[in-house]
Structure 1
Amino acid sequence: MAWRDEGILLSARKHGETSAIIEVFTPAHGRHAGVVRGGTSRRIAPVLQPGAQLDLSWRARLEDHIGSFTVEPVRSRAAAAMGTRLTLAGLNAVTGLLSFCLPDREPHPALYARTEALLDLLGEEDLWPLAYLRWELGLLEEMGYGLDLTRCAVTGTQEDLVYVSPKSGRAVSRAGAGDWADRMLPLPEVLRGLGAAPDTEIAQGLQTTGYFFDAHLAQNLGQKPLPEARQRFVAAFSRRL
């Protein structure tokens, strides 16, 4: 069994004396792990940094074996990621959530394209938080937990939508929420693609998407805790408000 693809490196860890086990996200083969022989060498180790774009060749005797990779660098994102604490935290949040959410070896080409575009914005701190929030919305949708923010789940109106139902993920108007308002999640305009997207609204949006990752997606995956990397990014972003 063999294939060739391009992919984003999610993680790498030492295996034995000289090898590494890497996990990558590819458009045609999804999240996929494999062994890189000599992965700890001076030549290859600097290439195996999270977020790196790699040309990958995978080979195994049987399809369900872990197999081995040969890798060639396409684009490094290490310099951009190390620019500030926020960008490094953002990169780690992306790779951590992908490792957490994606089923093994299941292709998600549209999500891959969105992820590549997001990572290419690393270092653009004015653009990154909003792009990241939109990426989280896309990730929830890809995993089957997309939010419906077009009209009120109670009244059907498209006006004065200020809440999200924590149960259904649908928008709720101020009037529709009634006495249940204190149990709703915030729906800032930025989540609906409206307004100027100030940092305060992005922070509210991350609160809402985080709830659905934690209370819905993680529960469906066996009550696994969300990667700490996401919380570190949210905390780093909140400190700049």
Structure 2
Amino acid sequence: MEWRDQGILLSVRGHGETSAIIDVFTIEHGRHAGIVRGGTSRKIAPILQPGAQIDVSWRARLEDHLGSYTVEPLRSRAAAALADRLSLAGLNAVTALLSFALPEREANPALYKQCEQLLDLLGQHSVWPLAYLRFEMALLDASGMGFDLSACAVTGTNENLCYISPRTGRAVSEQAAGPWVNRLLPLPPILKGEGQGGDAEIAQALQTTGYFLGEKLAPELGNRPLPEARARYVDLFLRQITER
């Protein structure tokens, strides 16, 4: 069994004395792991940095085996990630969430393309937070946990949609919220694709996506806790907002 693809390196862990097991989000083969022989060497180790764009060739005797990778670098994002704490935290959040949420060996070219574009925006703090929010929404969609914001779940109207039901992910209008308003999640306009939104609005939207990631998606994946990297990025983002 053998194939060649391009992908985003998600994680690296040691294997034996000189090898490494890498997890790669590839275009045509989804999230796919494999062994890199000599992955801890001075020549290869600098290539194996999370977030890197790489060309990979995978080979195994049988399709369900772990298999081995040979890797060629296409684009490193280490410099952009290490430029500041927020960029590094953002990169770690993206790779951790992809490792957490994506099923193994299921291709999702649309999500892959969005992730590639997101990571290419590292360091561009004027556009990154909104792009990151869109990534979390796309990840929820890909996991079957996306929002239905087309109309109010109670009245059917598409006006004054201000809340999201934490149970169904459907929009709720201001008029229909009634006595349940304190149980609903905020629906800032940015989640509906309206305008660019300021950082405060994006932060509010991340509260809502974070709820669905932690309280809806995580239980479906064996009740594993949401990666701490996501909370670290959001906390750092919120701190920078308050310090301005």
TM-score range, shorter chain: over 0.9
Please give the secondary structure, in 1, of the residue aligned with 2:159: coil
1:232 aligned residue = 232
Where in structure 1 do 4 or more consecutive aligned residues deviate above 2 Å?
A: none
1:202 aligned residue = 202
Q: Are the structure 2 counterparts of residues 196 and 35 from structure 1 closer, same or farther at C-alpha, using a change threshold of 3 Å?
A: closer
- The residue type paired with residue 171 of structure 2 is A
2:182 aligned residue = 182
Question: Does structure 1 residue 193 correspond to structure 2 residue 200?
Answer: no
1:140 aligned residue = 140
Shift of 1:151: 1.3
Shift of 1:40: 0.6
What fraction of aligned residue pairs are identical, expressed as a percent? 67
2 CA distance for matches of 1:125 and 1:64?
41
Is the 8 Å Cα contact of residues 130 and 196 (structure 2) preserved in structure 1?
A: no
1 CA distance for matches of 2:84 and 2:190?
24
2 CA distance for matches of 1:4 and 1:127?
33
1:84 aligned residue = 84
1 CA distance for matches of 2:186 and 2:27?
33
2 CA distance for matches of 1:107 and 1:76?
23
TM-score by length of 1: 0.98
Q: Structure 2: any 5+ residue segments left out of the alignment?
A: none
- The residue type paired with residue 146 of structure 1 is G
2:103 aligned residue = 103
Between Structure 1 and Structure 2, how many residues are aligned? 241
Please give the secondary structure, in 1, of the residue aligned with 2:232: helix
- How much is the aligned-residue C-alpha RMSD, in angstroms? 0.7
Shift of 1:21: 0.6
1:213 aligned residue = 213
Q: Are the structure 2 counterparts of residues 55 and 179 from structure 1 closer, same or farther at C-alpha, using a change threshold of 3 Å?
A: same
Please give the secondary structure, in 1, of the residue aligned with 2:46: helix
- The residue type paired with residue 207 of structure 2 is Q
Is the 8 Å Cα contact of residues 8 and 52 (structure 2) preserved in structure 1?
A: yes
Q: Structure 1: any 5+ residue segments left out of the alignment?
A: none
Please give the secondary structure, in 2, of the residue aligned with 1:45: coil
Please give the secondary structure, in 2, of the residue aligned with 1:231: helix
Q: Deviations over 1:197-227 (max 9, x none)?
A: 1111101110000111111111111211000
- The residue type paired with residue 235 of structure 1 is D
| Equivalences for residues 147-158 of structure 1 within 5 A | 147-158=147-158
2 CA distance for matches of 1:130 and 1:5?
29
TM-score by length of 2: 0.97
Q: Deviations over 1:139-181 (max 9, x none)?
A: 1001111101121111111111110000110111111110000
